[in-house]
Amino acid sequence: MRLLLTTSQGIEDLARAEVENLLSELGVPFRVEEKPLGVEGRLLAEVGEAYYTDGKGRKRELSVSTYLNERSRLLHRVIVEIASERFEGIGEEEPENALKRIEDFVKELPVERYVKVSESFAVRSFRKGEHKITSLDVSRTVGKAIFERLERFGRPKVNLDHPAVIFRAELIGEIFFLGIDTTGDSSLHKRPWRVYDHPAHLKASIANALIELANPDGGPFIDPFCGSGTIPIELALRGYTGEVTCLEKFRKHLYGAKMNALSAGVIDRINFILGDATKLSEHVESVDFAVSNLPYGIKIGRKSAIPKLYMDFFGELAEVLEKRGVFITTEKRAIEKAIGENGFKVIHHRLIGHGGLMVHTYIIE
Ligand SMILES: C[S@@+](CC[C@H](N)C(=O)[O-])C[C@H]1O[C@@H](n2cnc3c(N)ncnc32)[C@H](O)[C@@H]1O
Protein backbone atom coordinates (compact mmCIF):
# COMPACT_ATOMS: atom_id res chain seq x y z
CA MET A 1 0.00 0.00 0.00
CA ARG A 2 1.17 3.52 -0.74
CA LEU A 3 0.22 6.35 1.61
CA LEU A 4 0.48 10.04 0.87
CA LEU A 5 1.12 11.80 4.17
CA THR A 6 0.72 15.55 4.52
CA THR A 7 2.38 17.90 6.99
CA SER A 8 3.68 21.48 7.12
CA GLN A 9 6.30 22.60 4.65
CA GLY A 10 9.78 22.59 6.15
CA ILE A 11 9.24 19.77 8.67
CA GLU A 12 9.12 16.84 6.21
CA ASP A 13 12.39 15.40 7.61
CA LEU A 14 11.04 15.40 11.18
CA ALA A 15 7.72 13.90 10.08
CA ARG A 16 9.59 11.23 8.15
CA ALA A 17 11.65 10.31 11.22
CA GLU A 18 8.45 10.05 13.25
CA VAL A 19 6.68 7.89 10.66
CA GLU A 20 9.73 5.62 10.33
CA ASN A 21 9.78 5.16 14.11
CA LEU A 22 6.08 4.36 14.22
CA LEU A 23 6.31 1.90 11.31
CA SER A 24 9.38 0.20 12.84
CA GLU A 25 7.25 -0.60 15.89
CA LEU A 26 4.87 -2.53 13.64
CA GLY A 27 7.66 -4.71 12.27
CA VAL A 28 6.46 -4.28 8.65
CA PRO A 29 8.65 -3.62 5.62
CA PHE A 30 8.41 0.05 4.60
CA ARG A 31 10.06 2.87 2.69
CA VAL A 32 9.36 6.55 3.33
CA GLU A 33 10.22 9.25 0.81
CA GLU A 34 10.27 13.00 1.58
CA LYS A 35 8.74 15.43 -0.95
CA PRO A 36 7.68 12.81 -3.54
CA LEU A 37 7.93 14.19 -7.10
CA GLY A 38 9.35 17.34 -5.48
CA VAL A 39 6.10 18.20 -3.67
CA GLU A 40 6.70 20.04 -0.39
CA GLY A 41 4.77 19.25 2.77
CA ARG A 42 4.29 15.66 1.60
CA LEU A 43 5.75 12.21 2.31
CA LEU A 44 5.12 9.00 0.45
CA ALA A 45 5.19 5.79 2.49
CA GLU A 46 5.20 2.34 0.91
CA VAL A 47 4.13 -0.08 3.59
CA GLY A 48 3.71 -3.85 3.68
CA GLU A 49 0.74 -5.55 5.33
CA ALA A 50 0.66 -5.36 9.11
CA TYR A 51 -1.00 -7.78 11.52
CA TYR A 52 -1.82 -8.00 15.21
CA THR A 53 -3.04 -10.82 17.43
CA ASP A 54 -6.50 -10.28 18.90
CA GLY A 55 -7.71 -11.30 22.39
CA LYS A 56 -8.52 -14.81 21.16
CA GLY A 57 -5.07 -15.33 19.68
CA ARG A 58 -6.22 -14.85 16.07
CA LYS A 59 -4.05 -13.06 13.54
CA ARG A 60 -5.81 -9.93 12.27
CA GLU A 61 -4.88 -7.34 9.69
CA LEU A 62 -3.94 -3.98 11.21
CA SER A 63 -4.89 -0.79 9.41
CA VAL A 64 -1.67 1.17 9.02
CA SER A 65 -3.57 4.34 8.12
CA THR A 66 -5.66 4.16 11.32
CA TYR A 67 -2.49 3.48 13.30
CA LEU A 68 -0.80 6.59 11.84
CA ASN A 69 -3.91 8.74 12.32
CA GLU A 70 -4.00 7.74 15.98
CA ARG A 71 -0.29 7.97 16.80
CA SER A 72 1.31 10.69 14.71
CA ARG A 73 1.98 14.11 16.23
CA LEU A 74 3.47 15.72 13.10
CA LEU A 75 1.20 14.62 10.27
CA HIS A 76 -1.88 16.46 9.01
CA ARG A 77 -3.45 13.75 6.83
CA VAL A 78 -3.04 10.11 5.93
CA ILE A 79 -4.24 9.41 2.39
CA VAL A 80 -4.29 6.00 0.69
CA GLU A 81 -2.92 6.50 -2.81
CA ILE A 82 -5.03 5.48 -5.80
CA ALA A 83 -2.79 7.07 -8.43
CA SER A 84 -0.39 9.92 -9.10
CA GLU A 85 0.61 11.46 -12.40
CA ARG A 86 2.64 14.31 -13.80
CA PHE A 87 0.60 16.45 -16.22
CA GLU A 88 3.23 18.38 -18.11
CA GLY A 89 2.26 21.92 -19.01
CA ILE A 90 -1.12 21.75 -17.22
CA GLY A 91 -0.48 25.19 -15.70
CA GLU A 92 -0.64 26.93 -19.08
CA GLU A 93 -3.56 24.95 -20.44
CA GLU A 94 -7.00 26.44 -20.98
CA PRO A 95 -9.49 25.26 -18.32
CA GLU A 96 -11.40 22.99 -20.67
CA ASN A 97 -8.30 21.07 -21.79
CA ALA A 98 -6.77 20.88 -18.32
CA LEU A 99 -10.00 19.47 -16.86
CA LYS A 100 -10.41 17.03 -19.76
CA ARG A 101 -6.95 15.60 -19.03
CA ILE A 102 -7.84 15.12 -15.38
CA GLU A 103 -11.21 13.59 -16.24
CA ASP A 104 -9.74 11.13 -18.76
CA PHE A 105 -7.12 10.06 -16.25
CA VAL A 106 -9.56 9.53 -13.35
CA LYS A 107 -12.11 7.68 -15.51
CA GLU A 108 -9.63 4.83 -15.99
CA LEU A 109 -8.84 4.39 -12.28
CA PRO A 110 -10.40 1.43 -10.40
CA VAL A 111 -12.14 3.67 -7.84
CA GLU A 112 -14.78 0.96 -7.25
CA ARG A 113 -12.19 -0.83 -5.11
CA TYR A 114 -12.35 1.97 -2.58
CA VAL A 115 -16.06 2.75 -2.26
CA LYS A 116 -19.03 0.40 -2.16
CA VAL A 117 -21.94 1.44 -4.34
CA SER A 118 -24.09 1.59 -1.19
CA GLU A 119 -21.69 4.15 0.37
CA SER A 120 -21.86 7.88 -0.18
CA PHE A 121 -18.78 9.75 -1.33
CA ALA A 122 -17.44 13.27 -1.86
CA VAL A 123 -14.33 14.69 -3.48
CA ARG A 124 -12.25 17.27 -1.63
CA SER A 125 -9.51 19.02 -3.58
CA PHE A 126 -6.35 20.88 -2.87
CA ARG A 127 -4.62 23.00 -5.51
CA LYS A 128 -1.37 24.91 -5.35
CA GLY A 129 0.67 26.64 -8.04
CA GLU A 130 -0.19 28.48 -11.26
CA HIS A 131 -3.24 27.05 -13.05
CA LYS A 132 -6.17 28.41 -15.00
CA ILE A 133 -8.49 26.13 -13.04
CA THR A 134 -9.66 26.32 -9.43
CA SER A 135 -9.81 23.61 -6.79
CA LEU A 136 -13.59 23.70 -7.15
CA ASP A 137 -13.18 22.85 -10.86
CA VAL A 138 -10.95 19.93 -9.88
CA SER A 139 -13.50 18.65 -7.31
CA ARG A 140 -16.34 18.81 -9.82
CA THR A 141 -14.41 17.13 -12.62
CA VAL A 142 -13.00 14.36 -10.45
CA GLY A 143 -16.41 13.87 -8.81
CA LYS A 144 -18.06 13.50 -12.23
CA ALA A 145 -15.43 10.99 -13.45
CA ILE A 146 -15.78 8.89 -10.28
CA PHE A 147 -19.58 9.04 -10.45
CA GLU A 148 -19.66 7.90 -14.07
CA ARG A 149 -17.29 5.04 -13.39
CA LEU A 150 -19.30 3.89 -10.34
CA GLU A 151 -22.51 3.97 -12.39
CA ARG A 152 -21.27 0.79 -14.08
CA PHE A 153 -21.76 -0.98 -10.75
CA GLY A 154 -25.01 0.55 -9.46
CA ARG A 155 -26.37 3.92 -8.37
CA PRO A 156 -23.61 5.98 -6.77
CA LYS A 157 -24.45 8.33 -3.89
CA VAL A 158 -22.86 11.73 -3.45
CA ASN A 159 -23.01 13.41 -0.05
CA LEU A 160 -20.97 16.58 0.14
CA ASP A 161 -21.64 17.22 3.85
CA HIS A 162 -21.25 13.83 5.50
CA PRO A 163 -19.73 11.40 3.02
CA ALA A 164 -18.82 7.86 4.08
CA VAL A 165 -15.75 7.96 1.80
CA ILE A 166 -13.68 11.06 1.03
CA PHE A 167 -11.66 11.11 -2.16
CA ARG A 168 -8.84 13.61 -2.05
CA ALA A 169 -7.59 15.11 -5.29
CA GLU A 170 -4.47 17.27 -5.22
CA LEU A 171 -3.05 19.35 -8.04
CA ILE A 172 0.29 20.77 -6.96
CA GLY A 173 2.16 22.35 -9.86
CA GLU A 174 2.14 19.63 -12.52
CA ILE A 175 1.53 16.77 -10.12
CA PHE A 176 -1.94 15.30 -9.84
CA PHE A 177 -2.74 12.90 -7.05
CA LEU A 178 -5.88 10.97 -6.16
CA GLY A 179 -6.42 9.03 -2.95
CA ILE A 180 -8.79 8.16 -0.12
CA ASP A 181 -8.51 10.56 2.79
CA THR A 182 -8.56 8.36 5.89
CA THR A 183 -8.19 11.34 8.23
CA GLY A 184 -11.58 12.89 7.49
CA ASP A 185 -12.52 16.53 7.19
CA SER A 186 -10.65 17.74 10.27
CA SER A 187 -6.87 17.81 9.83
CA LEU A 188 -4.89 16.04 12.56
CA HIS A 189 -3.18 19.28 13.61
CA LYS A 190 -6.56 20.50 14.90
CA ARG A 191 -6.36 18.84 18.27
CA PRO A 192 -9.52 17.78 20.06
CA TRP A 193 -8.19 19.30 23.28
CA ARG A 194 -8.37 22.87 21.91
CA VAL A 195 -11.31 24.51 23.67
CA TYR A 196 -9.74 27.99 23.79
CA ASP A 197 -8.87 29.31 20.35
CA HIS A 198 -6.00 31.81 20.57
CA PRO A 199 -6.01 34.15 17.52
CA ALA A 200 -2.37 33.35 16.72
CA HIS A 201 -2.05 29.78 17.92
CA LEU A 202 0.61 27.50 16.54
CA LYS A 203 -0.34 24.33 14.68
CA ALA A 204 0.18 21.37 17.00
CA SER A 205 2.25 19.64 14.29
CA ILE A 206 4.68 22.58 14.24
CA ALA A 207 4.75 22.70 18.05
CA ASN A 208 5.93 19.08 17.96
CA ALA A 209 8.50 19.86 15.28
CA LEU A 210 9.94 22.61 17.53
CA ILE A 211 10.03 20.18 20.45
CA GLU A 212 11.90 17.66 18.24
CA LEU A 213 14.40 20.36 17.29
CA ALA A 214 14.96 21.32 20.95
CA ASN A 215 15.30 17.63 21.85
CA PRO A 216 14.69 18.22 25.58
CA ASP A 217 16.21 15.56 27.83
CA GLY A 218 14.00 15.82 30.92
CA GLY A 219 15.33 19.12 32.29
CA PRO A 220 13.18 22.20 33.08
CA PHE A 221 11.37 23.52 29.99
CA ILE A 222 9.61 26.85 29.39
CA ASP A 223 7.48 28.48 26.71
CA PRO A 224 7.84 32.15 27.72
CA PHE A 225 5.14 33.41 25.28
CA CYS A 226 2.85 30.43 25.68
CA GLY A 227 -0.47 31.89 24.46
CA SER A 228 -3.04 29.11 24.56
CA GLY A 229 -0.41 26.60 25.70
CA THR A 230 0.07 24.58 22.50
CA ILE A 231 3.76 23.82 23.03
CA PRO A 232 3.64 22.97 26.79
CA ILE A 233 0.46 20.90 26.32
CA GLU A 234 1.90 18.89 23.41
CA LEU A 235 5.12 18.34 25.39
CA ALA A 236 3.17 17.10 28.42
CA LEU A 237 1.10 14.80 26.18
CA ARG A 238 4.36 13.22 24.96
CA GLY A 239 4.89 12.09 28.55
CA TYR A 240 7.69 14.58 29.34
CA THR A 241 8.75 13.97 32.92
CA GLY A 242 10.59 17.26 33.55
CA GLU A 243 9.18 20.53 34.81
CA VAL A 244 7.10 22.34 32.15
CA THR A 245 6.28 26.07 32.46
CA CYS A 246 3.82 28.16 30.44
CA LEU A 247 4.45 31.92 30.85
CA GLU A 248 2.05 34.45 29.32
CA LYS A 249 1.51 38.17 29.84
CA PHE A 250 -2.24 38.27 29.21
CA ARG A 251 -4.65 36.79 31.76
CA LYS A 252 -7.21 35.87 29.11
CA HIS A 253 -4.74 33.72 27.14
CA LEU A 254 -3.26 32.13 30.27
CA TYR A 255 -6.75 31.20 31.41
CA GLY A 256 -7.38 29.77 27.93
CA ALA A 257 -4.14 27.76 28.17
CA LYS A 258 -5.34 26.31 31.49
CA MET A 259 -8.70 25.37 29.93
CA ASN A 260 -6.87 23.67 27.06
CA ALA A 261 -4.57 21.80 29.46
CA LEU A 262 -7.58 20.71 31.50
CA SER A 263 -9.26 19.43 28.36
CA ALA A 264 -6.04 17.63 27.32
CA GLY A 265 -5.81 16.00 30.76
CA VAL A 266 -2.39 17.54 31.55
CA ILE A 267 -3.28 20.51 33.76
CA ASP A 268 -1.33 19.00 36.68
CA ARG A 269 1.79 18.60 34.55
CA ILE A 270 2.26 22.32 33.73
CA ASN A 271 3.12 25.40 35.85
CA PHE A 272 1.18 28.39 34.61
CA ILE A 273 2.66 31.82 35.30
CA LEU A 274 1.06 35.15 34.50
CA GLY A 275 4.03 37.35 33.71
CA ASP A 276 6.21 39.31 31.33
CA ALA A 277 8.87 37.42 29.35
CA THR A 278 11.04 40.56 29.25
CA LYS A 279 11.38 40.05 33.04
CA LEU A 280 11.99 36.31 32.72
CA SER A 281 14.59 36.13 35.48
CA GLU A 282 11.96 37.35 37.99
CA HIS A 283 9.85 34.30 37.21
CA VAL A 284 12.37 31.47 36.78
CA GLU A 285 15.88 31.03 38.15
CA SER A 286 17.10 28.69 35.47
CA VAL A 287 15.70 26.50 32.65
CA ASP A 288 17.37 23.98 30.38
CA PHE A 289 15.09 24.46 27.36
CA ALA A 290 13.03 27.38 26.04
CA VAL A 291 10.77 26.87 23.02
CA SER A 292 8.41 29.52 21.75
CA ASN A 293 6.37 31.00 18.96
CA LEU A 294 7.33 34.66 19.45
CA PRO A 295 4.79 37.48 19.04
CA TYR A 296 4.91 38.74 15.42
CA GLY A 297 4.41 42.39 14.51
CA ILE A 298 1.52 41.73 12.20
CA LYS A 299 -0.29 39.67 14.74
CA ILE A 300 0.09 41.95 17.76
CA GLY A 301 -0.46 45.20 15.88
CA ARG A 302 2.47 47.37 17.00
CA LYS A 303 5.30 46.23 14.74
CA SER A 304 7.68 48.91 16.01
CA ALA A 305 7.63 47.37 19.50
CA ILE A 306 9.09 44.07 18.27
CA PRO A 307 12.86 44.82 18.14
CA LYS A 308 12.83 46.11 21.73
CA LEU A 309 10.65 43.26 22.96
CA TYR A 310 13.02 40.68 21.40
CA MET A 311 16.14 42.49 22.66
CA ASP A 312 14.80 42.65 26.23
CA PHE A 313 13.60 39.05 26.16
CA PHE A 314 16.84 37.54 24.81
CA GLY A 315 18.79 39.65 27.33
CA GLU A 316 16.78 37.99 30.12
CA LEU A 317 16.99 34.56 28.47
CA ALA A 318 20.80 34.83 28.56
CA GLU A 319 20.49 35.00 32.38
CA VAL A 320 18.50 31.78 32.76
CA LEU A 321 18.97 29.44 29.78
CA GLU A 322 21.31 26.50 30.42
CA LYS A 323 21.01 24.38 27.26
CA ARG A 324 18.99 25.15 24.13
CA GLY A 325 16.32 27.43 22.77
CA VAL A 326 14.07 27.05 19.71
CA PHE A 327 12.15 30.07 18.41
CA ILE A 328 9.87 30.66 15.46
CA THR A 329 9.01 34.12 14.10
CA THR A 330 8.51 36.12 10.90
CA GLU A 331 10.74 38.88 12.31
CA LYS A 332 14.11 37.75 10.93
CA ARG A 333 16.04 40.95 11.42
CA ALA A 334 14.86 41.60 14.99
CA ILE A 335 15.48 38.07 16.22
CA GLU A 336 18.92 37.73 14.62
CA LYS A 337 20.04 41.01 16.18
CA ALA A 338 18.67 40.04 19.61
CA ILE A 339 20.25 36.55 19.44
CA GLY A 340 23.65 37.88 18.35
CA GLU A 341 23.84 40.79 20.80
CA ASN A 342 22.98 38.61 23.79
CA GLY A 343 25.77 36.10 23.27
CA PHE A 344 23.78 33.25 21.71
CA LYS A 345 24.88 31.20 18.72
CA VAL A 346 22.50 30.00 15.99
CA ILE A 347 23.21 26.31 15.50
CA HIS A 348 20.40 25.67 13.01
CA HIS A 349 17.99 27.71 10.91
CA ARG A 350 15.10 26.60 8.72
CA LEU A 351 11.90 27.95 7.20
CA ILE A 352 8.58 26.40 8.17
CA GLY A 353 5.25 27.05 6.45
CA HIS A 354 2.70 28.48 8.87
CA GLY A 355 -0.46 30.43 8.14
CA GLY A 356 0.49 30.94 4.49
CA LEU A 357 3.94 32.35 5.33
CA MET A 358 7.37 30.78 5.48
CA VAL A 359 8.44 31.46 9.06
CA HIS A 360 12.01 31.57 10.38
CA THR A 361 12.97 28.97 12.95
CA TYR A 362 16.19 29.02 14.98
CA ILE A 363 17.92 26.65 17.36
CA ILE A 364 20.20 28.64 19.63
CA GLU A 365 22.65 27.80 22.39
C1 LIG B 1 2.32 34.05 18.79
S2 LIG B 1 1.52 34.04 20.31
C3 LIG B 1 1.85 32.44 20.96
C4 LIG B 1 0.81 31.46 20.59
C5 LIG B 1 0.99 30.10 21.23
N6 LIG B 1 2.18 29.41 20.73
C7 LIG B 1 -0.25 29.25 21.00
O8 LIG B 1 -0.17 28.25 20.27
O9 LIG B 1 -1.31 29.63 21.49
C10 LIG B 1 2.52 35.04 21.30
C11 LIG B 1 1.99 35.27 22.71
O12 LIG B 1 2.90 36.08 23.43
C13 LIG B 1 2.16 36.87 24.34
N14 LIG B 1 3.02 37.99 24.76
C15 LIG B 1 3.24 39.16 24.14
N16 LIG B 1 4.15 39.90 24.82
C17 LIG B 1 4.50 39.16 25.90
C18 LIG B 1 5.41 39.36 26.97
N19 LIG B 1 6.13 40.47 27.08
N20 LIG B 1 5.54 38.38 27.88
C21 LIG B 1 4.84 37.23 27.79
N22 LIG B 1 3.94 37.00 26.81
C23 LIG B 1 3.78 37.95 25.88
C24 LIG B 1 0.93 37.26 23.56
O25 LIG B 1 -0.13 37.61 24.42
C26 LIG B 1 0.65 35.97 22.77
O27 LIG B 1 -0.26 35.17 23.47
Domain ranges of the chain: 2-181, 204-364
Name the CA dihedral angle for 89, 95, 101, 103, rounded to a multiple of 10 degrees.
Answer: 150
Q: Rounded to an integer, what distance in angstroms lies between the CA atom of residue 226 and that of residue 206?
A: 14
Ligand 1 proximal residues by C-beta, below 6 Å: 198, 200-202, 225-228, 230-231, 247-250, 253, 276-278, 293, 295
Same fold flag, 2-181 and 204-364: no
Quote the pLDDT of residue 301: 53
CA of 12 to the centre of ligand 1 (A): 26
Class of the 2-181 domain?
A: alpha beta
pLDDT at 304 (0 to 100):
74
Cα separation, 213 vs 195, in Å, equals 27
For residue 299, pLDDT over 60 is answered with: no
**Residue 297: pLDDT band by 50, 70, 90 thresholds?**
low
Confidence of residue 355 (pLDDT cuts 50, 70, 90): confident
- Return the percentage of the chain with pLDDT > 90, whole number: 94
Domain spanning 204-364, CATH class: alpha beta
Query: What's the pLDDT tens digit per position in 99-137?
Result: 999 999 999 999 999 999 889 999 999 999 999 999 999
Distance from the alpha carbon of residue 294 to the mean position of ligand 1, in angstroms: 6
Looking from the CA of residue 247, the nearest atom of ligand 1 is 21
Q: What is the mean pLDDT of residues 139-153?
A: 97
The residue-averaged pLDDT of 38-67 equals 94
CB atoms inside a 10 Å sphere around CB 70 = 11
pLDDT computed for residue 37 by the predictor: 87
Beta strands in 129-266 (DSSP E): 157-158, 165-172, 175-181, 221-223, 244-248
Give whole-number Cα distances, 357 to 19, 294, 296, 362, in Å: 25, 15, 12, 16
| Ligand 1 center from residue 338 Cα (angstroms) | 17
Beta-strand relationship, 244-248 and 221-223: parallel
For residue range 179-205, list pLDDT tens digits in order: 999 999 999 999 999 999 999 999 999
